């Protein structure tokens, strides 16, 4: 595992400076399929209070909003958030906030869903530990965490597998793994608080 620092706001603002859809989130069949599988894993249940950590420009936010009464979508990049607000509009129950998670995580507990899609591998070991500590104290009983991460090589602080496994090592005593699926180039994990 790498000892590299978490990637910062300047990194992500730079990505959004050069490309409106830097990861083809809104345009690729691969991403659309991934978002549909994420939504399907969460279906069959209504989420009262959810947080999407790293909402980018709101494509997944649009998929998640119908499942949630209150969805807080956060991102470290102001440029990404501006695009997300335009994409999602004034949809009832969706709030956007500029936050560098986990350092600027919400303080109020009681979330029954946390979405970490393509974000945990950007964090240092210290921030992965801080994220796990926050999830442990802020996810309500029977609350869920969904994690979706690319499994190929990255130039980020961690691979998707390393990041998810580090979080699981910290959270496995408090959560049950409901879904652990591997697809072409990504993994989807769903954990439920005991």
- Give the model confidence (pLDDT) of 36-49 as tens digits: 999 999 999 999 99
Q: Is the pLDDT of residue 2 over 60?
A: no
How much of the chain exceeds pLDDT 90, in percent? 77
pLDDT at residue 1 greater than cutoff 60: no
Contact 86, 64 (CB under 8 A): no
Record the pTM. 0.89
pLDDT of residue 19: 63
User: pLDDT over 70 for what percent of the chain?
Assistant: 91
Give pLDDT, residue 79: 87
pLDDT number for residue 46: 97
Is CATH 3.40.50.150 correct for 9-193? yes
What CA–CA distances, in Å, run from 121 to 3, 47, 49, 98, 149? 12, 25, 24, 19, 8
Beta-carbon count within 10 A of 7 CB: 18
User: Using one digit for the tens of pLDDT, what is the confidence trace for 150-165?
Assistant: 999 988 999 999 999 9
Q: What is the pLDDT of residue 10?
A: 73
Q: What is the mean pLDDT of residues 170-194?
A: 97
């Amino acid at each position: 595992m790498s000892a590299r620092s978490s990637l910062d706001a300047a990194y992500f603002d730079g990505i959004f400076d050069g490309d409106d859809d830097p990861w083809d989130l809104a345009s690729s069949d691969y991403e659309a399929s991934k978002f549909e599988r994420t939504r399907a894993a969460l279906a069959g249940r209504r989420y009262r209070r959810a947080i999407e950590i790293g909402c980018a420009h709101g494509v997944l936010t649009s998929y998640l909003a119908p499942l949630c009464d209150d969805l807080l979508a956060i991102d470290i990049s102001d440029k990404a958030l501006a695009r997300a607000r335009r994409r999602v509009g004034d949809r009832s129950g969706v709030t956007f906030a500029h936050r560098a998670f986990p350092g600027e995580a919400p303080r109020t507990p009681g979330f029954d869903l946390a979405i970490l899609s393509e974000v945990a591998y950007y964090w240092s070991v210290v921030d992965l530990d801080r994220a796990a500590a926050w999830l442990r104290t802020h996810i309500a009983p029977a609350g869920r965490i969904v994690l979706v991460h690319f499994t190929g090589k990255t130039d980020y602080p961690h691979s998707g597998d390393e990041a998810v496994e580090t979080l699981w090592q910290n959270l496995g005593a408090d959560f049950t793994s409901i879904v652990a699926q591997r697809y072409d180039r990504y993994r989807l994990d769903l954990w439920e608080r005991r």
